Chain A
Amino acid sequence: MAKYIIKRVAYMFISLFLIASFTFVLMKLLPGSPLASAEKLSVEQREVIYEKYGLNDPIPVQYVRYMGNLAKGDFGVSFQFKKADVTTLIVSKLKYSMILGAQALVFGTIVGIVLGMIAALKQNTIWDYGSTVIAILGVSIPSFVFAVMLQYVFAVHWEFFDVGLWNSWKSSVLPSIALAMGPIAIAARFIRTEMIEVLSSDYIMLAKAKGASWLEIAFKHAFRNALIPLITVLGPVAAGLLTGSLVVEQIFAIPGIGEQFVKSINSNDFAVIMGTTMFFSVFLIVIILIVDILYGIIDPRIRLSGGGK
């Protein structure tokens, strides 16, 4: 197991190194300058700023400096927000994204599991069809369409909730629900298929033959076995949700990372774009690693046979 983790961590660093390099190259290819939209600057002032941020150095020099800083955890300084270093900026925005993401993840997973369980246990009944329809809608309808619909119905039309901005916990309800549709659909579909497969397995037949009741079979035997593989599916979803949603945050004007990212794109704020990209990547890779390790811990078949997959 330890060998496996070390190997995975090594790959993780290679991935991150390549992503950082790739992002750097893309940034240098990017047309436009971060100062284009800024205040009207004279050529001299512009030169001063370029000099200060090292933008006049040869590109290899900039690259080495950037990578060096990254290794120290320094993502650079935002051009847009004066004096704000990117790390601080991301951390300050992270809170909102994390709250939304965590709420959506918990709510979505629970609802999805319940729907999937009902569908599998009451196969081919109205319950099954109902939950399948919800799952299909959740998979199919893009989150931003759903967010806009929620906003129109519950905030514009009925005014139950705020249209946008972060005022209190109430502001997080609509965006969280919009974000939860994904995990609901994924969990419901996955749990349904897994449960049906598990329920038709020999050991469920044996459990029945032992005299176990319907509830014991569903929860003691089938549920756990269906739940374990769900972790692998939900891992990347969790990473995406916790790092903020670009559009849903924009629609509801939530001051999170996603909204910040879109803003930086529109203002060519290199440092923030690169910093955020790196942050997203680290988050995703680390979560996937954690999920794989977790899976090994929870599933006795993997845990005790010693190796990875």
Chain B
Amino acid sequence: MSNDVKNFPKDAFDRITVDGKHAEKISKPSLNFWQDAWLRIRKNKGAIVSMFILIFLVVMAFVGPYMVPHDPENVRVSHANLPPKVPGLEKLGIFDGEGKLGSKTVNLYELKKVEEYYWFGTDSLGRDLFSRLWKGTQVSLYIAFVAAIIDMIIGVIYGGISGYYGGRVDDIMQRVVEVLIGIPTLVIVILMIMIMEPGIWSIIIAITITGWIGMSRIVRGQVLKFKNQEFVLAAKTLGASDSRIIGKHLLPNIMAIVIINIMFTIPTAIFFEAFLSFIGLGLQAPHASLGTLINDGYKFIQYQPHILFFPAFILSLLMIAFNLIGDGLRDALDPKMKD
């Protein structure tokens, strides 16, 4: 606050003209919505690790069954109930083929004179659990993805129409949803499964029969929110057609929330499949899914816990990975969390 007058070179006080653009320059590069989202999800370690885990599991689901010389559906009773044995690791005293026989621990491979290695052991019919596990993962993922996509298509169309046209159409469509919501999902899924031939598609149909409701409600809410916003009204006043408004203005805006929701429907579908198979309503032998493998393993939990362990572990890993990616996407895409 002092008024000491320092001396400056004379020209220091020359007037200069500041380029107006200078002040307007934008210091940060402009990012579109997805680039911005990517920057934010990249900081979410859980989501990134999960993405790698998921990629690994998907690759293994297709490659895994061919990594070992055993067919996942090949029954060899003489090789039944073998514990895991992995070349290399066996020298460390783990995965060395030792297992319980009655109350004694013996090397079952030597006992049964088995030369081959079964990395994850075999089940009660002598089927290789390693290839079965990945085959089962493949089936579970297939069911989950197809179910999620069907849910999305029905949900987006139903919710979109209901929200966009509003009025009477919306009223009727929402009453239908209100009734459907009252039905316990699990019960309806079970009833549906019971009247259909067991198989992959009955499971998919059973899962999707009520699965789309959640998606449709979210899409409707989003459409209702956006359709009255200025940019849509502006497009309307400029004479844009319904299809152009939906395609160019509404869909891009609800895309983020649809993707987030898919990330949560996939694990739900995986869960339902496993659940149905576990109570004996899912796939029938010799086909495998994570659910049937867990069910098989559960029967031998007392003496052969490893049969249960591997599919239960992969199932849990899949569910965790999808949930974490879903969380990460939600945090990254939801503008409400932006700061």
Interface residues, chain A, with chain B CB atoms under 8 Å away? 11-12, 14-16, 18-19, 22-23, 26, 29-31, 136-137, 139-142, 144-145, 148-149, 151-152, 156, 239-240, 243, 246-247, 250-251, 262, 265-266, 273, 276-277, 280-281, 284-285, 288
Q: Is the interface of B mostly helix, strand, loop or mixed?
A: helix
Beyond A141-B316, A265-B194, is A277–B278 a contact (Cβ under 8 Å)?
no
User: What are 10 pairs between A and B in contact, CB < 8 Å?
Assistant: A11-B175, A31-B195, A137-B316, A139-B323, A152-B301, A239-B184, A246-B275, A250-B279, A277-B184, A281-B184
- Is B86 interfacial (CB-CB < 8 Å)? no
Beyond A136-B320, A148-B298, is A281–B279 a contact (Cβ under 8 Å)?
no
Residues of A within 8 A of B254 (CB): none
Residues of B within 8 A of A137 (CB): 316, 320
User: Quick one: which of A15, A137, A144 has the most chain B CB within 10 A?
Assistant: A144
Measured CB to CB, the nearest residue on chain B to A268 is B194
Looking at the complex, which of B1-9, B18-26, B185-193 is the stretch in contact with chain A?
Answer: B185-193
> Is A140's CB under 8 angstroms from B267's CB?
yes
Our count of residue pairs bridging A and B at CB distance below 8 angstroms stands at 103
> Is B184's CB under 8 angstroms from A141's CB?
no
> Is B278's CB under 8 angstroms from A247's CB?
yes
Interface residues, chain B, with chain A CB atoms under 8 Å away? 46, 175, 178-179, 182-184, 186-187, 190-192, 194-195, 267, 271, 274-275, 278-281, 294, 298, 301-302, 305, 308, 312, 315-316, 319-320, 322-324, 327
Residues of A within 8 A of B319 (CB): 139-142
> Is B316's CB under 8 angstroms from A277's CB?
no
Interchain CA distance A240-B324 in the complex, whole Å: 25
Q: Which of A23, A273, A285 sits near B182, CB closer than 8 Å? A: A285
Q: Which of A12, A26, A142 sits near B192, CB closer than 8 Å? A: A26
Beyond A30-B194, A262-B279, is A145–B316 a contact (Cβ under 8 Å)?
yes
Measured CB to CB, the nearest residue on chain B to A276 is B187
> Is B190's CB under 8 angstroms from A265's CB?
yes
Q: Which of A12, A144, A265 sits near B275, CB closer than 8 Å? A: A144
> Is A142's CB under 8 angstroms from B320's CB?
no
> Is A30's CB under 8 angstroms from B195's CB?
yes
Measured CB to CB, the nearest residue on chain B to A283 is B184
Measured CB to CB, the nearest residue on chain A to B318 is A140
User: Quick one: which of B182, B316, B327 has the most chain A CB within 10 A?
Assistant: B182
Q: A148-B294, A281-B183 are in contact. List 4 more A-B contacts (CB 8 A).
A: A136-B46, A145-B294, A145-B316, A156-B302
> Is B274's CB under 8 angstroms from A151's CB?
no
User: Quick one: which of B194, B195, B298, B319 has the most chain A CB within 10 A?
Assistant: B194
Interchain CA distance A264-B192 in the complex, whole Å: 15
> Is B191's CB under 8 angstroms from A277's CB?
yes
Measured CB to CB, the nearest residue on chain B to A196 is B337
> Is B195's CB under 8 angstroms from A11's CB?
no
Measured CB to CB, the nearest residue on chain B to A129 is B46
Measured CB to CB, the nearest residue on chain A to B305 is A152
> Is A145's CB under 8 angstroms from B323's CB?
no
Q: How near does chain A come to B224, taking the closest CB pair, in angstroms? A: 14
Interchain CA distance A240-B158 in the complex, whole Å: 27
Q: How near does chain A come to B313, taking the closest CB pair, in angstroms? A: 9
> Is A145's CB under 8 angstroms from B312's CB?
yes
Residues of B within 8 A of A280 (CB): 184, 187
Residues of B within 8 A of A250 (CB): 279
Residues of A within 8 A of B280 (CB): 266
Residues of B within 8 A of A26 (CB): 191-192, 194-195
> Is A29's CB under 8 angstroms from B312's CB?
no
> Is A140's CB under 8 angstroms from B320's CB?
yes
Interchain CA distance A136-B221 in the complex, whole Å: 27
Beyond A31-B195, A141-B316, A262-B279, is A136–B182 a contact (Cβ under 8 Å)?
no
Residues of A within 8 A of B298 (CB): 148, 251
Interchain CA distance A26-B183 in the complex, whole Å: 14
Residues of A within 8 A of B175 (CB): 11
Q: Which of A139, A277, A288 sits near B187, CB closer than 8 Å? A: A277
Residues of B within 8 A of A29 (CB): 195
Q: Which of B184, B267, B275, B320 sits near A247, CB closer than 8 Å? A: B275
Q: Which of B179, B186, B294, B316 sits near A246, CB closer than 8 Å? A: B186
Residues of A within 8 A of B184 (CB): 239-240, 243, 277, 280-281, 284
> Is A142's CB under 8 angstroms from B194's CB?
no
